[in-house]
């Protein structure tokens, strides 16, 4: 059986090669860097402050005519890997993408980290969708993506994807197209315009990989996820709400977050608060997680900022992975 990933790769290459013969390519290149200092305030034994280049990305987009473009997003740290790599055909309000594309689930997942208010995504998103603690789907995947995106009113995004982390044979993330689990997941989101923003519901249904120690082969299990999101700007306030509920291999998980940020028009200052909750297993004790995040961002210009963020965390004894009780993080972001 021909793999969806191979078909997607061939179609994407074919579409771009045809268009390149007909018109010159116009290029747009940008990127961003995030540096961070983190102090875990209550670790035992005490841990020193750490400095890291948290993220470094290069974004390249080439248009060959008014309808056809190609996009490549490269993560430069800790290893060079492709996170977006797709061909796009757009004729408003319709759009098709073929390749490695962000999943249309909720609010946070389709965004790059440079567009987040907080320094990291919420815990429920990290646990269920961003690879963490053995969870084996990621917030971008290879497949066929279809969009209906009018300026206002109802919009729809849907995709048929691999449901497999992007990796090469050595286990590191890259652009290879292996798919070692069964079936092709379906992902969809339906959104609707509201004053100052949008609300939507999302669905993910399909198998994901379950890692098994060598020499045994990896297995797979069913993941079904439902999500609700709302984001709106009301005067100087930005309000973002997201909730997720999932059944992962028979284990029920749920959680969500609320973020409120304040920034006056023309102001460089943006304080914000986030309340963040998750239950990793609703049928087991001490698997809950609660976090209160208070932060302040100062914009040096429209695209660059420095942020200071404090997190107070209360995690159950059986919550995995283990969490500190509090930490303080400073970060700079430069978009070029």
At residue 88, the pLDDT reads: 97
At residue 39, the pLDDT reads: 87
Q: Which domain holds residue 118?
A: 4-335
Give mean pLDDT in consecutive 10-residue pieces for the chain, a chain of 336 residues: 50 52 76 92 71 91 93 85 90 95 91 92 83 55 93 96 56 45 81 96 84 64 92 97 92 95 96 96 90 97 94 88 84 92
Strand partners, 291: 276, 313
At residue 304, the pLDDT reads: 92
- What distance in Å separates the CA atoms of residue 99 and residue 16, rounded to the nearest whole number? 12
CATH number of the domain at 264, please. 2.40.160.10
Residue tagged 């492709």 (tokens): 82
Q: Which residues, other chains included, contact 81 with Cβ-Cβ below 8 Å and sequence gap of 6+?
A: 74, 75, 166, 172, 173, 174, 175
Helices and strands per DSSP (H, E), number in the chain: 2, 16
pTM of the complete model: 0.85
- What distance in Å separates the CA atoms of residue 281 and residue 287, rounded to the nearest whole number? 6
| Number of domains, the chain | 1
């Amino acid at each position: 059986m021909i793999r969806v990933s191979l078909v997607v790769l061939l179609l994407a290459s074919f579409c771009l090669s045809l268009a390149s013969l007909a018109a010159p390519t116009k290029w747009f290149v940008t990127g961003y860097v995030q540096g961070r200092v983190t102090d875990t305030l209550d670790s035992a034994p005490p841990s020193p402050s750490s400095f890291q280049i948290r993220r470094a990305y290069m974004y390249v987009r080439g248009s060959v005519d008014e309808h056809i473009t190609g996009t490549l997003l490269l993560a430069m740290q800790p290893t060079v890997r492709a996170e977006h790599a797709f061909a796009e055909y757009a004729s408003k309000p319709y759009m098709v993408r073929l390749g490695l594309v962000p999943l249309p689930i909720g609010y946070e997942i389709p965004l790059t980290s440079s567009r987040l208010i907080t320094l990291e995504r919420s815990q429920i998103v990290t646990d269920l969708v961003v690879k963490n603690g053995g969870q084996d789907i990621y917030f971008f995947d290879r497949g066929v993506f279809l969009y209906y995106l009018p300026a206002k009113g109802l919009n729809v995004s849907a995709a048929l994807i691999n449901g497999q982390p992007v990796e090469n044979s050595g286990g590191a993330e890259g652009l290879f197209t292996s798919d070692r689990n069964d079936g092709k997941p379906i992902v969809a989101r339906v959104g609707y315009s509201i004053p100052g923003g949008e609300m939507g519901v999302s669905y993910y249904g399909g198998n994901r990989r379950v890692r098994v120690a060598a020499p045994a082969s990896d297995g797979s299990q069913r993941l079904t996820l439902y999500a609700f999101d709302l984001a709106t700007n009301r005067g100087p306030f930005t309000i973002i709400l997201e909730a997720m509920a999932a059944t992962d291999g028979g284990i029920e998980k749920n959680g969500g977050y609320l973020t409120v940020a304040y920034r006056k028009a023309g102001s460089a200052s943006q304080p914000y608060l986030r309340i963040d909750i998750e239950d990793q297993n609703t049928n087991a004790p001490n698997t809950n997680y609660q976090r209160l995040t208070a932060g302040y961002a100062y914009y040096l210009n429209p695209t660059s900022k420095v942020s200071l963020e404090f997190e107070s965390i209360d995690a159950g004894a059986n919550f995995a992975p283990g969490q500190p009780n509090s930490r303080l993080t400073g970060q700079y972001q430069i978009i070029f």
